[in-house]
Structure 1
Amino acid sequence: MQKLLKDLSLPAVVAGFLAVLVSYSGPLAIFFQAGASAGISSDMMTSWVWAISVGAGISGIALSIWLRAPIVTAWSAPGTALLVTLFPELSLNEAIGAYISAAIMIFIIGISGTFDTFVRAIPKGIAAGMMAGILFQFGVGAFTAIETTPALAIGMLVSYVVFRRLFPKYTLVLLLISGVVLAVALEGA
């Protein structure tokens, strides 16, 4: 407990908070888009978000205590973004089956210790291209938002430029948070 209190500092708390905020809120906005494109009821979305939130919280705390390192668990932004493009052609049952199958495969790969081997086998350019291809539509959406919500989009852009100058260390985080705010605002519009 004394080591925990010794390591406790404002930069550590801010870094931890931002890590959790980005890993949680970014995919959450995409998750709502996937749910909307699948025609999921608000009750089911509430249940899913609650289950994912509690599961991520418990697993993150348990893993952090067990491994004595800060561990953040959350849902997959690229996987959820891919779902947005697959609905409504993909049924809800097929999506749930795919998530469960992927979870089992990831668990087996994780406990077998072969994850690093698989990751090294994927060329970095291909991995970056896959991620960019999946998330491209969300990046373009930020620019098209200027037409529908100009004050919000321009306000976030100005905020980004100002914070980039004042807090360059946190610029990427602020950019991601701005994207989440924009996506949530557009979803409600």
Structure 2
Amino acid sequence: MTITAQSGLREPIVAGIVTALVGFTSSFAVVIAGLRAVGATPEQAASGLFALTVVFGIGIIVLSVRSRAPITLAWSTPGAALLVSMGAGHDAGWAAAVGAFLVVGGLILLVGLIPVLGDLISRIPTPIAQAMLGGVLLSLCLAPMESLAAEPLLTLPVLIAWLVATRVVARWALPLTLLTALVVIAVYVWGHGTEQPVESTWLPSLSWTTPQLDVAAIAGIAIPLFVVTMASQNIPGVAVLSSFGYATPWRAAMTVTGAGTAVIAPFGGHAMNLAALSAALAAGEEAGPDRSRRWIAGVSAGVGYLVLAVLSGALVTVATIAPGGLVEAVAGLALLGTFAAALVGAFTAVETRIPAALTFVAAASGLTFLGIGGAFWGLVIGLVTHAALRATTSAPSTGR
């Protein structure tokens, strides 16, 4: 193999590895927090993280090889944040949450098989979808400040590391922040010890939960999770790939992610989807000047995720023994950019500002009505208000 050929392969392979490292380390804490919030034990959360990473890693390899394009997948980070926002408001139990995850997989699969369903999702006004996402993310984005108030000596090094890294090496800011947090946790445990039973979750494992179909969980978890995943991950994921000149194999991607979500749901995985932000790392110039070879970055990313899946049990264990709020603080820092973008998208347009505001406050309020959480009601309230205000605005004047 010539030096030129070796260089041509090296760039996409390295880009794929970077994609996997950044994608995994920047948001796994959100996934853990989300699964624990709706009732998962540490073992069940580790199972969910492991199942998600393995299945979407395989999905990336299959889609990239099949389409000869850098198609990358991910877990639904906004969806995990949605689960965190439900927290105490979800009282149907872990089996009902797993049943909701199964429904989400079925809905995503249907979108791939019946394109009109995707069109319906795309018709939800963007400001309202963004407002729901912003409301969902608010509680996690407050976590760094809450952690700073509760444990200033532990949280301050993490915040400083994030700020400095964001200024100097923005792409690696979240992995470096995570590394700092792991050091802080290690020092804390060395000095204070831990009473947590950690021996059983260091290695990756799968834990089966028989899904329970609960009406309140389907309405309160499955529907908002599906909408957030489609509006905040799948549709932007298509746009990111398009910006680099790649056509997304929509039906194949929805079939893989929908079927994959259904398969991993009983093992604790909440939702998988097209990657959005991390997709640019594998599809952009970092993957080499030859666009026809960038699909190799997708394959490399898939292999990278399979390797990182081995760490799932250990990472959940670390999150379990960490001082209260520190892991959530890292998750909140990871979502600040998404939160800011959601607010801009929600409130820029004057004509949808009121419906978006109602959606935001309802989603952020922790409201629970009929056993259904605020994200669902925020979406309903926003859509109804938007329709009512449009009807009022378009009504003909009867001036005298």
Q: TM-score, normalised by structure 1?
A: 0.74
Any conservation in 2 of the 1:25–1:180 contact (CA below 8 Å)?
no
How many Å separate the matches in 2 of 1:36 and 1:177? 24
With 121-130 and 155-164 compared, the bigger mean Cα shift is at: 155-164
Any conservation in 2 of the 1:24–1:75 contact (CA below 8 Å)?
no
Higher relative contact order (CA 8 A, sep 6+): 2
Q: Which residue of structure 2 aligns with residue 45 of structure 1?
A: 45
Please list, as runs of the form range in 1=range in 2, the aligned pairs for 1:76-115 lying within 5 A after superposition. Answer: 76-84=76-84, 85-87=86-88, 88-114=90-116
Residue 28 in structure 1 maps to residue 33 in structure 2: no
Residue 133 in structure 1 maps to residue 132 in structure 2: no
The runs of at least 4 consecutive aligned structure 1 residues that moved more than 6 Å come to: 1-4, 183-186
Residue 174 in structure 1 maps to residue 173 in structure 2: yes
SS at match of 1:74: strand
Q: Which residue of structure 2 aligns with residue 64 of structure 1?
A: 64
How many Å separate the matches in 2 of 1:73 and 1:107? 15
Structure having the larger proportion of residues in helix: 1
Unaligned runs of 5+ in 1: none
Distance 1:68 1:29, change over 3 A: same
CA drift at 1:36: 3.0
Distance 1:4 1:135, change over 3 A: farther
Deviations 1:3-41 (A, max 9, x none): 8962532xx556544543444345532332234334433
Please list, as runs of the form range in 1=range in 2, the aligned pairs for 1:138-149 lying within 5 A after superposition. Answer: 138-149=140-151
Unaligned runs of 5+ in 2: 183-314, 324-400
Deviations 1:79-122 (A, max 9, x none): 22222315541322221111111111112213444476345412
RMSD of equivalent CA atoms: 3.5
CA drift at 1:144: 1.3
How many Å separate the matches in 2 of 1:55 and 1:174? 27
How many Å separate the matches in 1 of 2:58 and 2:21? 16
Distance 1:4 1:134, change over 3 A: farther
Deviations 1:34-93 (A, max 9, x none): 343344333333322222221121111111111222222222122222223155413222
Q: TM-score, normalised by structure 2?
A: 0.39
What percent of counterpart residues are identical? 26
Distance 1:176 1:78, change over 3 A: farther
How many Å separate the matches in 2 of 1:60 and 1:72? 5
Distance 1:66 1:96, change over 3 A: same
How many Å separate the matches in 1 of 2:59 and 2:138? 30
How many Å separate the matches in 2 of 1:65 and 1:53? 18
With 153-162 and 125-134 compared, the bigger mean Cα shift is at: 153-162
Larger Rg: 2
Q: Which residue of structure 1 aligns with residue 119 of structure 2?
A: 117
Counterpart among 152, 163, 166 of residue 165 in structure 2: 163
CA drift at 1:143: 1.1
